[in-house]
Amino acid sequence: TPRVFSGIQPSGGLTLGNYLGAMKRFVEMQNADDGFECVYCMVDLHAITVWQDPAALTRNTRELCAGFIAAGIDPERSILFNQSQVPEHTQLAWIFNCVARMGWMKRMTQFKDKAGKNAENASLGLFGYPALMAADILVYHATHVPVGEDQKQHLELTRDIAAKFNHDYGTNFFPLTEPVIEGAATRVMSLRDGSKKMSKSDPSDMARINMTDDPDAIAQKIRKARTDPEPLPDNEAALEERPEARNLVNIFAALSDRSVAEVLADVGGKQFSEFKPMLADLAVEQLSPISSEMARLMEQPDEIDAILARGAERAREIAAPILRDTYRIVGMVGA
């Protein structure tokens, strides 16, 4: 059966971008009739590539797990765990550190964005992030990886690493993974700046909608979201040069499971003063059941920890033999 892998960092609270670009897809793939085996991971080892306060990391990992479950991931049907409990990820990442080339890593735009001007001061882990990500995916021989648009370049690198490994060792052991980048909101933008992606690590809380925001906060953030003075157009092409307007329309479409064209057929001609409250109502309606379920699950951290521990056991049953075979291909004694 085809296998799905994807991860989310516990580097802050879940955002609307994570939900629409990733988690909503995860749920669809779990529930698809095609019979995917789904492996979903809280990638705590990725999170610490930039500084994380230890208590916050623990809390964010549990809250992220609660978010997965509240959004519709069933920990029986899918495998749900945190990365650090499955050491095979970092073991395979080391092999991939020796396969990937410095030049490949230097071209990664996420590194450039996150390292900022002073790249010399970034952690070595941030630089090597894509090799660990390739290991996350390939240690399960995953074939499908649902992600947001921003991860496309990392997935191409994952294919390059798999292809170079296969070539160097004369094997076809690692599959070439397909990115699954689908839906109306594969790149949700910041509410304050239509040229920047919405991120959980953005210093401005007004730039994003958090899954845990209450209805008032959601409404206020949408009301204050940057827009232009024109009314909404009635066709998609006219959104081309209007990134902020396009972002709000994309969010509306994704939240209502409709296409952008269908949404514009309804709201074309409206002013933002009328559209924004409609969007806020829709967002509250879609997000509040998830956030209240998250809050309920967070009252039982022991249960969350047990789910993650059990998920890690199941994940290791898949990952350990694949790592052993990799070691054998590389020529490690004892594998």
Please report, as ranges, the residues that interact with ligand ATP according to CB under 6 A: 8-9, 11, 15, 17-18, 21-22, 147-148, 150-151, 186-188, 197-201
- Going by their DSSP bridges, the two strands 3-8 and 37-42 should be labelled as parallel
Q: How far apart are CA 162 and CA 153, in angstroms?
A: 14
Q: Which residue, 29 or 329, has its beta carbon nearer to ligand ATP?
A: 29
Q: Is 150 annotated as a binding residue?
A: yes
- Closest separation between CB of residue 14 and ligand ATP, Å? 8
Q: Which residues in 302-320 are b (16+ Cβ under 10 Å) and which e? A: eebeebbeebbebbbebbe
Q: Which residue, 21 or 233, has its beta carbon nearer to ligand ATP?
A: 21
DSSP character at residue 88: H
Catalytic positions, written as ranges: 114, 197, 200
- Closest separation between CB of residue 46 and ligand ATP, Å? 7
Q: How far apart are CA 46 and CA 35, in angstroms?
A: 29
Nearest-CB residue for ligand ATP: 21
Q: Is 17 annotated as a binding residue?
A: yes
Q: How many helices (H) and strands (E) does the chain have?
A: 14, 5
Q: Which residue, 201 or 271, has its beta carbon nearer to ligand ATP?
A: 201
Q: Which of 46, 52, 67, 71 is nearest to 12 (CA)?
A: 52
Q: What's the start-to-end Cα distance of the chain, in Å?
A: 26
Q: Is 201 annotated as a binding residue?
A: yes
Q: Is 28 annotated as a binding residue?
A: no
- Closest separation between CB of residue 19 and ligand ATP, Å? 8
Residue list, annotated binding site for L-tryptophan: 136
Binding residues for ATP: 9-11, 17-18, 148-150, 188, 197-201
State the binding site.
9-11, 17-18, 136, 148-150, 188, 197-201
